[in-house]
Amino acid sequence: MVNVGLLGFGKTGKVIAGELINEPDINLKWVVRRSHSEEGEYAGQLLGLHKDEGEIISAEGLNYADFFKEHPVDIVVDFSHYSTIDDYFEAIKESKQGLISAISNYPDTGIQKIEELSKTARVLYSPNITLGVNFLIVISEVLQKIAPWADIEIIEEHFRNKPEVSGTALRIANVLGLDHQTHVNSIRIGGIVGKHEVIFGLPNQTIRLTHETSNRAAFGQGIIFGIKYLREKVAGLYSMDQIIKEKFVGSFNEGSLISGAN
């Protein structure tokens, strides 16, 4: 059983909490949210799961060092706001609890803190924690190496009120060595949860690699995948695309993806 704490109880955070509570091998001990709303109640009850799991704690005035000592967990999952790391940085550094961060818009100082924490703690950082998007990133890298002459464009589509450029699209551009200002195209329309497409233009053919998130539960499933991976690891910085590469290469080495293999 892995004891987990969750930072963030917004629209996506609630879905993630539900996925964690429904996972038999995970115990959601607490959920920290910004407001005092529903403080002392349980996420498992608020979400209609009829479980006293995930006690709601207000972040207002919270001393994370004391809180982590009084409510220890194996892994802290951050799905709140990029500024929250400033509040818990020293506490994680001291406690050395595992950290999974799915924040997509860290400033440089936030990334530096993630890297600093990974020197003494297990840290999994991925702006988009879904398995599908990270598989898309890995396959895009493979295709670029096969056809380095291809023209590449990235299209990201999100719900109408999303203000910033997708952090996932920026990561894809960075991984592929592309200037995001000229190769990332953003579309804001309707209630799209999230869609990313990488287009490769080659002579006489076009290859489109697409991933679409139809339900925020995909983030919860990615978190669960990350928790199960991270609990077996030592201190260091990990990412979902690195994990997929590791398993991808391992599958080839085992011969399971080679035609005719037994």
Q: Tell me the pLDDT tens digit for each residue of 123-160.
A: 999 988 999 999 999 999 999 999 999 999 999 999 99
pLDDT of 258 reads 47
pLDDT of 143 reads 97
Instruction: Indicate whether 249 pLDDT > 80.
Output: no
Bridge-partner residues for 7, per DSSP? 32, 78
Residues 124, 92 share a domain: yes
Computed over every residue of the chain, the mean pLDDT equals 92
Q: What CATH number should be reported for the domain holding residue 197?
A: 3.30.360.10
Residues 165, 94 share a domain: no
Q: Which residue has the higher pLDDT, 191 or 17?
A: 17
Q: Is residue 255 part of a domain?
A: no
Residues 101, 141 share a domain: no
Q: What CATH number should be reported for the domain holding residue 71?
A: 3.40.50.720
To the nearest whole percent, how much of the chain has pLDDT over 70?
95
* Averaged pLDDT for residues 220-243: 94
Residues 139, 93 share a domain: no
Residues 174, 119 share a domain: no
pLDDT tens digits, residue range 9-46?
A: 999 999 999 999 999 999 999 999 999 999 999 999 99
Q: Which two tokens stand for residue 24?
A: 């038999």
pLDDT band at 82 (very low <50, low <70, confident <90, very high): very high
Least-confidence region, from 168-172, 174-178, 255-259: 255-259
Q: Is residue 257 part of a domain?
A: no
Residues 47, 90 share a domain: yes
Burial-class residue 139 by CB neighbours within 10 Å (0-12, 13-18, 19+).
middle
Q: Is residue 254 part of a domain?
A: no
Could you list the residue range(s) of the whole structural domain that residue 151 is in?
A: 131-213
Q: How many domains does the chain have?
A: 2
Cβ-contact 33, 57 below 8 angstroms = yes
Residues 10, 104 share a domain: yes
Instruction: Indicate whether 261 pLDDT > 50.
Output: no
Residues 122, 142 share a domain: no
pLDDT of 262 reads 43
Among 190, 213, 236, the domain boundary falls at 213
Q: Is residue 256 part of a domain?
A: no
Residues 93, 120 share a domain: yes
Q: What HEC string does 103-133 produce? A: CCCCCHHHHHHHHHHCCCCEEEECCCCCHHH
pLDDT of 127 reads 85
b (16+ CB within 10 A) / e for 162-174: eeebbbbbbbbbe
Residues 241, 123 share a domain: yes
Q: Is residue 63 part of a domain?
A: yes
Q: Is residue 108 part of a domain?
A: yes
* Averaged pLDDT for residues 94-111: 91
pLDDT band at 206 (very low <50, low <70, confident <90, very high): very high
Q: Is residue 88 part of a domain?
A: yes
pLDDT band at 251 (very low <50, low <70, confident <90, very high): low
Report the largest interatomic distance among the alpha carbons of the chain, rounded to a whole angstrom. Answer: 63
Residues 109, 24 share a domain: yes
Residues 21, 104 share a domain: yes
Q: Is residue 260 part of a domain?
A: no
